[in-house]
Amino acid sequence: MKTIILDRDGVINIDSALYIKSPAEWKPIEGSLEAIARLNQAGYRVVVATNQSGIGRGLFDMDTLNAMHEKMHKHLAAVGGRVDAIFYCPHTADEKCHCRKPKPGMFERIAKVYNIDLQGVPAIGDSLRDLQAGSAAGCMPMLVRTGKGEKTIAEGNLPEGTTIHDNLAAAVNALLGKAGSK
């Protein structure tokens, strides 16, 4: 089965400099849920790899994170889509764990859980750390302009081979060979 790894905040849902801290704050980016449904229909296993340091910072707890993900699952189901698994890092940058992007720990765990080689697996993110983690694990880095994407482009130093797309829908169009992608 083909696999794709997506960041959450800024790729699937609107991001905030103040963190997404509740289900009420979790709002999908236009077209992102339908893009995930198209991936499902094309035979992709869709996995989310997301830093959630708001837990480590005490901004929200596990029940709240689970409620946000339940909202995402319900909205996806309404358009015929699904996320097969969510891997997250609850740690702050100060904890220097191996699972927090830009380190590849979450990606390595995904490879182990699914017993797959991540070489060439698309990894879509909006920040440099998303791309670095995916690239370090052998993934094909894809950057979206949503979320922190424009800032990431402006700062440069993207991993070799990174492709840039307007949003998740455009990235999925490019993967599935459809017109309208950039």
* Average pLDDT of span 2-7: 98
CA neighbours closer than 13 Å in the CB half-sphere of residue 107: 31
Give the catalytic positions in this structure.
7, 9
CA distance 163 to 13: 20
Query: Has residue 105 been placed in a domain?
Result: yes
Q: What is the pLDDT of residues 62-115, one digit of tens each?
A: 999 999 999 999 999 999 999 999 999 999 999 999 999 999 999 999 999 999
Domain residues for the domain of 129 are 2-175
Count of structural domains within the chain: 1
Query: Has residue 60 been placed in a domain?
Result: yes
Query: Has residue 182 been placed in a domain?
Result: no
Query: Has residue 98 been placed in a domain?
Result: yes
Contacts with 164 (C-beta within 8 Å, 6 or more apart), sequence order:
142, 143, 144, 145, 149, 153, 182
- What CATH number does the domain containing 110 carry? 3.40.50.1000
Q: What is the pLDDT of residues 28-39, one digit of tens each?
A: 999 999 999 999
pLDDT band at 179 (very low <50, low <70, confident <90, very high): very low
SS3 label, residue 118: coil
Tell me if 136 sits within 8 A of 121, measured CB to CB: no
